[in-house]
Amino acid sequence: MESVRLVVVSAGLGLPSSTRLLADRLAEATVRRLSGDGHPAEVRVIELRDLATDIAANLVTGFPGATLREAIEAVTEADGLIAVTPIFTASYSGLFKSFFDVIDNSALTGKPVLIAATGGTARHSLVLEHAMRPLFAYLRAIVVPTAVYAASEDWGTGGDSRADDLASRVARAAGELAGLMSHRPAAARQVEAVIPFEQQLAALRP
């Protein structure tokens, strides 16, 4: 079985972090779906909190340090990406945006990406559509249809009190990402080719 590389970027600041918790749930669900499709996954988690100083230095000097360079390479060489940020002032965090600012704007072309966010209230869930999805569209990534937002109430109820609960959204988004990663051309690991729209749709069909 051919293994695939899944990279998870978490911009959570706290210890523990609800952002990291959501990132881990999404990664676990994606790995299960990939395994079921015959694709064992290698998972790498990048905590942006640990790279904050390096990211700031890169923005000023234009040169990444060794640790940041290695993280950037992991993201750009991945077969799929999960990107999770806390919501601050009705948008993604500055640390999250700064990290993707230091990545070449063509490096994510054709890469399957699952976007997710955490916040105190469900009212901020539209940030996924009016801020995060356009960001990755600009970077020419392929963003899965289901974006996952977890408000404080989702954790408090365990995500079991509503028909479209957190667990269901996580499972649906993970299935979409796994579908794209399973059908991604092997050549895309060397040359980031854009997957045709028809192929994207075929990958998402049950």
Work out the widest C-alpha separation in the chain, in whole angstroms.
49
Backbone angles phi, psi at 46, to 5 degrees: -110, 115
pLDDT in tens, 179-195: 999 876 444 544 443 44
* pTM of the predicted model as reported, rounded to 2 decimal places: 0.85
DSSP 3-state assignment of 128? helix
Q: For residue 23, which amino acid is it?
A: A
Radius of gyration, CA atoms only, the chain:
16
Q: Identify each DSSP E strand in the chain by its residue range.
A: 4-10, 41-47, 80-88, 91-92, 112-119, 142-143, 148-151
pLDDT at residue 156, rounded to an integer: 57
104-130 pLDDT per residue, tens = 999 999 999 999 999 987 878 889 999
Question: What separation, in Å, do the N-terminal and C-terminal C-alpha atoms of the chain show?
Answer: 21
What confidence score (pLDDT) does residue 153 get?
Answer: 82
Span 14-36, pLDDT tens digits = 888 899 999 999 999 999 999 99
**ω before 16 within 30° of 0 (cis)?**
yes
Q: What average pLDDT score do residues 58-85 get?
A: 96
